[in-house]
Amino acid sequence: MALRDYVPFLRRRKFATVGSDPPFKKDDPRSFGEGVIKRIRLSKQFRGGSQYETQIGDPRTYMNVYLSDPIVRTLIDLPCLYASKDGWDIVTESDDTRDKVTELFNNINIDMLIYGWLRNARIFGTGYLEWTDDNLVLRSSQNMFVQRNENGQIMYYYQKVGSPKEDIRFEENEIIELKNNTFDDYAYGLSDIHPILYLVDLKDYAERDVGAALNKYATSRFDISCGLPDMPYGPDKINEIVDAFNSLEPGEDIIHGNDIEVKEMQGTQRAFEYGKYIDDILKKIHMALKVPISMWDNPNQARPIFEPYVAYLQSAVEASLNSQLMPQLGDDVQFKFRQINVEDAFTKAKTDMIYLAEGVLSPGEVRTERGLNPEGAVVIQDTAKEANISGGKNQDKKEETKRTENRGNKPSANATGART
């Protein structure tokens, strides 16, 4: 079976609603809450009598590119890995709720689920998690479809596994969706692979041509003129010369008279020109997938693009979980990623201490900025106000003076611990 014809086998969940697509009324009270703003009437696209909307693009093609191109695969995976690798916190005032949700997420390995969820969203445009009341299951994005009412509210999700009678129907609150590159009023996000399809084709064609050129010109090739105008060589003599050149070992030379003229053909230059062309294509692919090519040899140069994109992915995950899943786990509970940059986290902590010590912000205001309940703040103690926070007025000088007095003006230790 060809790779583009690959369709993953999906096991049917036991508690799914199986059967023909159910009818629904326009006034069915399914909504995301009161006061839903009616939007422009959506144009339905029917598939096999079902009222779910067709996906954008070709998921099989996206999967084919992801599986077959190692560069695209790496560039899709890397931001997802960075977004999910540094941990998370459950933010709530209820210790019991925090402990239960944390234990649940640890048991189901939420880090790997988020990684796969993000990866599917980047490849196909939307990632889907199924919530089963005590577990999260990553569902295929290739054959998941959305059914919405005329106001754009999600009614059901359908996973195609065969005939309409075999389709798996999910209730709206059973699926946690993550849209990538949301656009207009589409029911699905946009794939990151779709805009680079033509670039991948160009790269593949260029790599094929380079391979052919290198195969043809990997060893030196010669243009040989034999004989003189009044003494032409016969076929036997020409074949003898050809055999002599073909049998040359590396480092060997051939000596010939002035009746033979040898010119080396410069065919490999074209392969190098193709290589520069491929490099240009690779830079465009890297930029399109938000991983600058400088990431591999100069990461600091790539940070201004790469790190904000990772933060964007984290924000998208937080928004999806906090709006769709967390309300089902408890009241006033949120999922929040930890800082991915230790230096930034340390800088924020020092800034908080300075603001607290100087009275610029109250403890409650600092907690609010960190996404915590301000009522849980503890009044700062007087001793904390005297702490050295690398920025207080003359505090460093005062402490150094005290240390000098305590050691009796003895020289301080150097980096090795020896006194100088």
- Separation between Cα atoms, residue 303 and residue 87, nearest integer Å: 20
Amino acid at 308: P
Question: What pLDDT, in 10s, does the model give residues 308-321?
Answer: 999 999 999 999 99
8 Å CB contact between 311 and 324: no
Model pTM score: 0.62
Half-sphere exposure of 143 (CA within 13 A, CB side): 16
For 217-233, the pLDDT digits (tens) are: 655 666 777 777 777 77
The amino acid occupying position 370 is R
CA distance 266 to 270: 8
The pLDDT confidence band at residue 190, using thresholds 50, 70 and 90, is very high
Q: How far apart are CA 330 and CA 129, in angstroms?
A: 19
Name the band, by pLDDT with cuts 50, 70 and 90, for residue 322. very high
**What CA–CA distance (Å, rounded) separates 134 from 149?**
29
Share of the chain above pLDDT 90, in %: 39
Task: Kindly report, residue by residue over 21-66, the tens digit of the pLDDT.
Answer: 444 444 444 333 333 233 333 334 434 445 678 888 899 999 999 9
Q: What is the pLDDT of residues 228-274, one digit of tens each?
A: 777 777 778 778 877 877 777 766 666 666 677 777 666 555 556 66
Range 92-101 average pLDDT: 94
